[in-house]
């Protein structure tokens, strides 16, 4: 079976590349992926899968049933793009002005579809089911949670799940794994500091929200530096600060927002309480009022240790020992694949795309970001091999 898969995948490389380029050329934002979903559904139906459309608005689910009853494994691909103006100069660059696949989702779609195509050709050898989850809105507000709420892990019930992210920090063709946390929890906050407006020449007659807010931004960093164990990685980043519009007018209020990244669930619960304590204390001491809103966004992406070890062995068998490694540190970026891993065992891994010879070295979300298309067959082979091995048991 291993050789059959290799041959079929090798012969289908052009298909994978063409699929990736099609979706790159026609990117759509979260919950607007109507044409993307239509194309995905058409192909899955053409290859004989049972297809459900309109899941979580624009999600698509395809089910491939083997010739015998057995377990079910799911493969997930995110399908949304980003509001970025593309600057790659590629022949297949985005035709949707101001929207771009700058986070590899075009490659994820191509590999997931490629896997569906290859496995559909050998379904008589499969014992059980493969569920292909094409999920909208990973970039926000989080389509995974909505798909789960609408039953994507049921009928048939999913026993395990696997997903990947093409990763520009890893050399092309190498695979990075983690037998635990691989990406952080991502939360968001907003605050408004309310003072009293006045003339810049007479600050004693006003209550300056900018001064109070500035102290708050600085003091929040003491939570990380002085209140948390240094080994428990945490990030508090205030990423917007808007106040005033005139050089000589003290404004009425300051509006701030930012993100918090954590791995430890207890710290994740504690941070917003400490933040509000600091915000309240400084605001009150400077005669300001405040509003503070904190939203728990994506939980940490934590791989199942046993299932990841299982995948590791399969990946090393395909790529060789030297090309599969445990990452030294998890990413402080976030992924809503985490919601699936809270429900079923699985793994999320990084597939490297960095290739200096091809000048493929830009970070994700960069307007010149692209991928090394030679990795597409690798991703398909990893998925196919995992499915075949998992379903034989």
CATH number of the domain to which 39 belongs: 3.40.630.10
Q: What is the pLDDT of residue 22?
A: 98
Number of domains in the chain: 2
Instruction: Confirm whether pTM is higher than 0.85.
Output: yes
The answer to whether residues 221 and 290 belong to one domain is yes
Out of 296, 317, 333, a domain closes at: 296
Out of 296, 314, 334, a domain closes at: 296
The answer to whether residues 54 and 116 belong to one domain is yes
The answer to whether residues 217 and 311 belong to one domain is no
- Catalytic option among 28, 86, 335, 373: 373
Q: What is the pLDDT of residue 210?
A: 98
The answer to whether residues 170 and 144 belong to one domain is yes
- Catalytic option among 189, 290, 297, 298: 298
Tell me the average confidence (pLDDT) per consecutive run of 10 residues in the chain, 393 residues long. Answer: 92 98 98 98 98 98 95 98 98 98 98 98 95 97 96 98 98 98 98 98 98 98 96 96 98 98 96 98 98 97 98 98 96 97 98 98 98 98 98 85
Strand partners, 93: none
Our answer to whether residue 373 is catalytic in this structure is yes
Out of 278, 296, 314, a domain closes at: 296
Tokens representing residue 206 in the block: 């006003």
What is the rounded CA–CA span in Å between residue 140 and residue 28? 13
**Number of Cβ within a 10 Å radius of residue 280:** 14
The answer to whether residues 100 and 229 belong to one domain is no
The answer to whether residues 138 and 16 belong to one domain is yes
The answer to whether residues 232 and 317 belong to one domain is no
The answer to whether residues 88 and 125 belong to one domain is yes
Q: What one-character DSSP code corresponds to residue 185? A: E
The answer to whether residues 126 and 71 belong to one domain is yes
The answer to whether residues 178 and 189 belong to one domain is no
| Domain CATH number, residue 205 | 3.30.70.360
Q: What is the pLDDT of residue 2?
A: 84
What is the rounded CA–CA span in Å between residue 317 and residue 250? 65
What 3-state DSSP class applies to 347? strand
Domain extent for 230? 185-296
The answer to whether residues 172 and 316 belong to one domain is yes
Crossing angle between the packed helical segments 13-25 and 105-120, to the nearest 10 degrees: 140
Q: What is the pLDDT of residue 31?
A: 98
Compute CA distances 172 → 133, 175, 298, 356, whole Å.
25, 9, 28, 9
Strand partners, 295: 188
The answer to whether residues 19 and 135 belong to one domain is yes
Query: Do residues 175 and 352 lie in contact, with contact meaning Cβ atoms separated by under 8 Å?
Result: yes
Query: Do residues 376 and 77 lie in contact, with contact meaning Cβ atoms separated by under 8 Å?
Result: no
């Amino acid at each position: 079976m291993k050789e059959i898969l290799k041959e079929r995948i090798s012969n289908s490389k052009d298909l994978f590349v063409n699929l990736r380029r099609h979706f790159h050329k026609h990117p759509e934002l979260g919950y607007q992926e109507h044409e993307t979903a239509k194309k995905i559904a058409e192909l899955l139906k053409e290859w004989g899968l049972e297809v459900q459309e309109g899941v979580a608005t624009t999600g698509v689910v395809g089910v491939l049933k083997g010739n015998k009853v057995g377990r079910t494994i799911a493969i997930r691909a995110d399908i949304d793009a980003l509001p970025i103006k593309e600057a790659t100069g590629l022949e297949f660059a985005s035709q949707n002005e101001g929207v771009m696949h700058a986070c590899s989702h075009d490659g994820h779609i191509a590999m997931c579809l490629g896997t569906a195509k290859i496995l559909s050709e050998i379904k008589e050898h499969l014992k059980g089911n493969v569920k292909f989850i094409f999920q909208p809105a990973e970039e926000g507000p989080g389509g995974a949670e909505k798909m789960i709420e609408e039953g994507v892990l049921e009928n048939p019930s999913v026993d395990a799940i696997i997903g990947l992210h093409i990763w520009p920090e890893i050399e092309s063709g190498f695979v990075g794994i983690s037998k635990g946390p691989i990406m952080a929890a991502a939360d968001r906050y907003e605050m408004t500091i309310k003072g009293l407006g006045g003339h810049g020449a007479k600050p004693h007659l006003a209550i300056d929200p900018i001064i109070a807010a500035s102290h708050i931004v600085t003091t929040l960093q003491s939570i990380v530096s002085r209140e948390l164990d240094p080994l428990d990685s945490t990030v508090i980043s205030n990423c917007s600060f808007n106040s005033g519009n005139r050089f000589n007018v003290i404004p009425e209020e300051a509006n701030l927002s930012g993100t918090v990244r954590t791995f430890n669930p207890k710290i994740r619960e504690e941070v917003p309480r400490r933040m509000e304590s600091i915000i309240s204390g400084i605001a009150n001491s400077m005669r300001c009022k405040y509003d503070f809103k904190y939203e728990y966004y994506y939980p940490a992406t934590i791989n199942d240790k046993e299932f990841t070890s299982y995948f590791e062995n399969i990946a090393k068998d395909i790529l060789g020992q030297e090309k599969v490694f445990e990452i030294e540190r998890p990413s402080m970026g976030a992924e809503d694949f985490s919601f699936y891993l809270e429900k079923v065992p699985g793994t999320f891994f990084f597939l490297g795309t960095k290739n200096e010879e091809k000048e493929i070295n830009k970070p994700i979300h960069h307007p010149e970001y692209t991928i090394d298309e030679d990795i597409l067959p690798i991703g398909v082979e990893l998925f196919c091999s995992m499915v075949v091995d998992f379903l034989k048991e």
